[in-house]
Structure 1
Amino acid sequence: MIKSFLKRFYLVLILILLYAPILTLIVLSFNNSKTRSKWGGFTGKWYVSLFQNKEIMNALFTTLAIALLSAAIATLIGTVAAIGISAMGKRKRTVIMGITNIPMLNADIVTGISLMLLFIAIRFSLGFTTILLAHITFNIPYVILSVMPKLKQTSKSTYEAALDLGASPLQAFLKVVIPDIYPGITSGFLLAFTMSLDDFIITHFTKGPGVDTLSTKIYSEVRKGIKPEMYALSTLLFLSVLILLFLVNMTPPEAERKKKTHPVKRILVRRVAPALLGILVLVGGVYYSTSSNVAGKKQVIVYNWGEYMDPEVLTLFEEETGIQVVYEEFETNEIMYPKIQSGAIAYDVVCPSDYMIERMIENDLLAELNYENIPNIENIGDTYLEQSKQFDAQNRYSVPYCWGTVGILYNKTMVDEEVDSWSILWDEKYQDNILMQNSVRDAFGITLKYLGYSLNSTDRDELYEATDLLTLQKPLVQAYVIDQVRDKMIGNEAALGVIYSGEAIYTQSENPDLEYVIPKEGSNVWIDSWVVPKNAKNKENAEAFINFLCRPDIAKMNFDYITYSTPNEAARDLIEDDAIRNSKIAFPDAKDLENCETFKFLGDKNDALYNELWREVKSH
């Protein structure tokens, strides 16, 4: 009896471990609140919103198109290659099969980076086509591996007998060889399709702006906070697989199925339907891969922070100007910079932070703006243009977009003391209840200010002291996060979190127990601005885009959506809610900013030192 109970308990435990996460995901797909940390009631709106979400639908279509196309092409090439290899002598076949197996044993990241460098070297624009070529490349070995065993089982005498009976070589091949190796071809296709469908690494390195598969889309969502629509999509994918499994397991035996199924129906199901699906994906894939080029000069490629613009603004811009927006997001300045520096992708307009703009100017990566194309810059306050001169001396390269501070967000029900100093982030009683920014400059800036130094310090002794303090703090930190701090603080998962002021406004609207403070030691006052890279192909369109964003009503739309402070004074006048327009979080008094500084670019050597010390902290 005990043995029987343990067996059942083990089975139930396995099922819980397997399906509890999926059940959680399904429940969240019906949560009326955008945050996973708060139940807002039952709703089905995310499923409706899913099919209205152009980005997710494009990612889904791209995923299926690339998976089917790459699998089909790789199966064709791989099958032909396998036949050729099987005809070789034993020694040559062994060598070729060894070379073929290397890509399967090689790390995906090596393959991905290698293909990316190859495409850049031959000046191939990264996009749909490069992803497709990359997927075909890494799928071919899997097809060869699937087909070769079936070729070994094929009898050459059967093929020769067909020739003796009057069949041509092609007829003998199609009627004798193909049926024998068909199971291998089918398994190779399915394996290639599955590998392509699930791939992230190679896709990540070979994709261009505006092109996402589900894997890259989900990755970017996780970095900034997954949208509820993604829960809905994952639920539908799970149910589709579940239904398919039921149908497969309930299918009658082959002989019985042939008796019951009408011949015409069999032909429709087995041949016509797959052919139509293949044609649909092929036509759609060709259209999708060429659609970005159709726009020609009427296009602008935007590279912006995640969740940093109202999607409706992009739609309005396209409708009013006829310029197509290709939109891509990044998580940190440090992720954005190498892409611009490499020149692998020619972005037209980018939104870096102050110190990174200074670095890009110093390294000659930016084009001077033509302010005749940006007349709406008159709406930007003189205060912010003057502050921008700290990193753009003559305001020649940048136009302010958003600004704010870095401070501490704390839960008043979990912290019963006055919070006015960075020192609380090192208080042992809040162990596992502290969230730190996963950003090298922010983490060191906080620590340097706490120690009484400048957040732009390049003094090695001061930096080593900050490193030791961050290392000492690490056991107290629950997690190093970026945008995820919002959900965790809203859901009462932590007592204290380092956060940007704009995020604080949103979190307070979701959880009134949260309070934001700029510590007395001072902090960072930052400005994110629009710039145009020197290799931009659509500079005038980029300036038209910046000008559009400087329009008061558009700046107000973005402020309402992202809740980050706007430098657009005309837009601030449009804010109807007095509490928001006069918010000390969004628009702090000069007194609150007395000890605050703006990040500066410290030079490549010091930048490398910061990164080295940050890796040292994270590795402990």
Structure 2
Amino acid sequence: MSRHRLYFNLGFGASLAVSLSAFAVEAPTVHVYNWYDYIGPTTLQDFKRDTGIALVYDTFDSAEVLEGKLLTSRSGYDVVVASNFSLPTLIKAGALAPLPREQMPDFKNMDTDLLAKLANNDPGNQYAVPYLWGTNGIGYNIDKVRAVLGDKAPVDSWDLVFKEENLAKLGECGVAMLDSPSEMLPVALHYLGLPPNSTNPEDYKKAEALLLKLRPHIAYFNSSKFISDLSNGNICVAVGWSGAMLEAKTTAEQAGNGVKIAYSLPKEGAPVWFDTLVLLKDAPHPEQGMAFIDYLMRPEVIAPVSDHLNYPNGNRSATTLVAEATRSNPAVYPPAEAMATLFTLQPLPPATERVRTRIWSKVKNGQ
């Protein structure tokens, strides 16, 4: 799930692997593989200072790159940051090692509600612990949406973008959606009252009909362009990731361009995703890998990461250490009633994936 902010801005289209030369390979060492620009500005240096363990730290830019590396060869990594929807595939392939709780004294800090949701992808929470997480929802230009739909615009509902009479009007100021069938089709299914992780082809026909009806009013499907377009007023609504919408909001405020952006988590429910810390089964340095995982479960370590990236973490004990502006923002930390409506996405059988791919191609082409 490519939702990491500088990846968008820099427009990287290929796998990126950047080793930090500051961390010369020396014993003891841990090899870590993470999304690009998805760590605190001093976290790695602090880890080496506090533990005496050096790092070899490489980065990637898509879940496909990560899975390809882990499933086709010995990667040489100890710890990897894997999205929750990748976990069932990695677990089934035997790529992950169970996490020994006795080596994770800081596991007690994990949010039990988040662990329960993550268990949908990692039964029993055996292989993964939450790192950062977020939601998929609606980012919108407050003034433009009000001008088009009035003061009673349903900004708290998927009706804003899935009711044709609303979308037809919003199409005048520009609507964008993620170019991601694995994320958009589940939302469409959920809106129709169908299982978001359905494997029933008839359910997908209904989602296809809905999206094809809406297609003339959607400016484009893209998983990066919407951030800058929303922040500079080129579009007025986007369906995407919580952190991306907050980035657009911050960019507009820093530019002083008068564009006011808000993020809505629809009341009907929405996808919640987790990026998790996992230990590879063939990790060459498992002890150091466990030390790195446990280090990131320390409240004082993970709180600055959330502040830096505008994503909540999976550590309940860290919440009070997160900046007030971040932890009190319901777009970052949804309230309990909103959390109860969130659902996780599941990997689907190949036959269903082919159905989704065909539908998405038709929807993007408008036919």
Superposition TM-score, scaled by structure 2 size: 0.82
Shift in Å, 1:386: 2.4
State the shift of 1:477 in Å.
3.0
Q: Is residue 306 of structure 1 aligned with residue 36 of structure 2? A: yes
Where does residue 375 of structure 1 map in the other structure? 105
- 1: distance between equivalents of 2:31 and 2:265? 36
Which one has the bigger strand percentage? Answer: 2
Partner of 2:96: 366
Offset at 1:333?
2.6
Separation in structure 2 between the aligned mates of residue 347 and residue 612 of structure 1, nearest angstrom: 35
Distance 2:218 2:61 in 1: 21
Which of the residues 497, 516, 523 maps onto 2:238?
497
In 1, the alpha carbon distance for the partners of 2:45 and 2:32 equals 13
For residues 616 and 545 of structure 1, the distance between their equivalents in structure 2, rounded to whole angstroms, comes to 45
Q: Does the Cα contact within 8 Å between 1:400 and 1:567 map onto a contact in 2?
A: yes
Alignment pair present for 1:543 and 2:290: yes
Aligned: 1:450 with 2:197: no
Shift of 1:619: 5.0
User: 1:334 is matched by which residue type in structure 2?
Assistant: E
Query: 2:133 is matched by which residue type in structure 1?
Result: W
Cα offsets for 1:559-585 (capped at 9, x unmatched): 1111111221221111352x4322222
Distance 2:76 2:217 in 1: 42
> 1:7-42: per-residue Cα shift (whole Å, max 9, x none)?
xxxxxxxxxxxxxxxxxxxxxxxxxxxxxxxxxxxx
How many residue pairs align between the two structures? 340
Kindly indicate which of the two structures has a greater share of residues assigned to helix.
1
User: Does 2:348 correspond to 1:596?
Assistant: no
The aligned residue for residue 356 of structure 1 is: 86
CA contact (8 A) 1:224 1:306 kept: no
Question: Could you report, residue by residue, the CA deviation over 1:502-527 in whole angstroms, capped at 9, with x for unpaired residues?
Answer: 33334333436111112233211222
Q: How does 1:427-438 map to 2 (within 5 A)?
A: 427-431=167-171, 433-438=174-179
- SS state of the match for residue 328, structure 1? strand
Q: Tell me the alpha carbon deviations over residues 104-135 of structure 1, each in whole angstroms, 9 at most, x when there is no partner.
A: xxxxxxxxxxxxxxxxxxxxxxxxxxxxxxxx
CA contact (8 A) 1:404 1:527 kept: yes
Match of 2:200 in 1: 459
Partner of 1:315: 45
1:614 is matched with which residue: 352, 360, 364? 360
SS at 1:488 equivalent = helix
C-alpha distance 472-585 of structure 1, shift in aligned 2 (>3 A): same
Residues 224, 331 of structure 1: 8 Å contact kept:
no
Aligned partners of 1:347 and 1:475: how far apart in 2? 46
- The change in CA–CA distance for 1:524 and 1:453 in structure 2 (over 3 A counts) is same
1:224 paired with 2:8, answer: yes
Are 2:55 and 1:325 equivalent residues in the alignment?
yes
Q: CA-to-partner distance for each residue in 1:466-507, whole Å, 9 max, x for gaps? A: 234334444433333334433222222210111222333343
Cα distance in 2 for partners of 1:468, 1:484 equals: 26
2:161 alignment partner in structure 1 = 425
Query: Are residues 1:414 and 2:198 paired?
Result: no
Cα distance in 2 between the residues matched to 1:221 and 1:507: 10
How has the CA–CA distance of structure 1 residues 225 and 510 changed in structure 2, closer, same or farther, with 3 Å as cutoff? closer
Alignment of structure 1 residues 392-403 onto 2, 5 Å:
392-403=122-133
Structure 1 residues 604 and 541: alpha-carbon distance in aligned structure 2, compared to 1, 3 A threshold: farther
1:581-620: CA deviations, max 9, x gaps?
2222222223224433111233344334433433444455
Displacement of 1:296 in angstroms is: 5.6
Q: Hey, what's the Cα distance between the residues in 1 that align with 2:75 and 2:48?
A: 22
CA deviation string 1:328-356 (max 9, x = no partner): 33344334222221126333222222222
Match of 2:272 in 1: 525
- Could you tell me how far apart the structure 1 residues matched to 2:249 and 2:27 are? 43
Pick aligned residue for 1:586 from 332, 355, 358: 332
- Could you list the per-position Cα deviations for residues 144-163 of structure 1 after superposition, in whole angstroms to 9, with x for gaps in the alignment? xxxxxxxxxxxxxxxxxxxx
Cα shift at 1:223? 4.6
Higher relative contact order (CA 8 A, sep 6+): 2
Q: 2:307 aligns with which of 556, 560, 570?
A: 560
> Where do 1:118-197 residues align within 5 Å?
none
AA matched with 1:614: W
- Displacement after TM superposition at 1:461 (Å): 0.9
AA aligned to 2:44 is L
The 1:337/1:615 distance shift into structure 2, 3 A limit, reads farther
CA distance in structure 1 between the partners assigned to 2:7 and 2:211 by the alignment: 23
Q: CA offset at residue 403 of structure 1? A: 2.1
Please give the alpha-carbon distance, in whole angstroms, between the structure 1 residues aligned to 2:6 and 2:181: 20
Which amino acid is 1:547 matched to?
D
**Given that residues 158 and 266 in structure 2 are in contact (C-alpha distance below 8 angstroms), is that contact kept between their aligned partners in structure 1?**
yes
What is the CA-CA distance between 1:533 and the residue it aligns to?
2.4
Bigger Cα Rg: 1
Distance change (3 Å), C-alpha of 1:573 and 1:462: same
For the pair 1:384 / 2:114, whether they are aligned, the reply is yes
Q: In structure 2, do the counterparts of structure 1 residues 348 and 607 end up closer, same or farther at CA, with 3 Å as the change threshold? A: farther
CA–CA separation in structure 2 for the residues paired with 1:576 and 1:221: 19
The verdict on how the C-alpha distance between 1:356 and 1:296 changes in structure 2, with shifts beyond 3 A counting, is same
Aligned AA (2:208): T
316 and 602 in structure 1: CA distance in 2 versus 1, 3 angstrom threshold: same
**Structure 1, residues 257-283: CA drift from partner, whole Å, max 9, x if none?**
xxxxxxxxxxxxxxxxxxxxxxxxxxx
Aligned to 1:341: 71
2:257 aligns with none
Q: What TM-score do you get using the length of structure 1 for normalisation?
A: 0.50
The amino acid that maps onto 1:341 is: L
Q: 1:533 and 1:605 mapped to 2: Cα distance? A: 28
Mapped partners of 2:347, 2:215: distance in 1? 26
Contact 2:129 2:277 survives alignment (8 Å): yes
Task: Map 1:16-31; keep pairs closer than 5 Å.
Answer: none
Cα distance between partner residues in 2 of 1:459 and 1:535:
37
Unaligned 5+ segments in structure 2 are 13-17, 254-259
In 2, Cα distance between equivalents of 1:590 and 1:478: 34
| 1:352 aligned counterpart, secondary structure | strand
In structure 1, what is the Cα distance between the partners aligned to 2:170 and 2:122?
40
Contact kept in structure 1, 2:304 and 2:322, CA below 8 Å: no
Contact kept, 8 Å, 1:305 with 1:330, in 2: the verdict is: yes
- Tell me, yes or no, if the aligned pair for 1:303 and 1:349 is still in contact at 8 Å: yes
Residue 56 of structure 2 aligns to a residue whose secondary structure is strand
* Aligned partner of residue 68 in structure 2, secondary structure: helix
Question: d(CA) in 2 for partners of 1:327 and 1:481?
Answer: 29
CA distance in 1 between counterparts of 2:310 and 2:190 reads 26
Partner Cα distance (2:236, 2:264) in 1: 14
Equivalent-residue separation in structure 2 for 1:601 and 1:593 (angstroms): 22
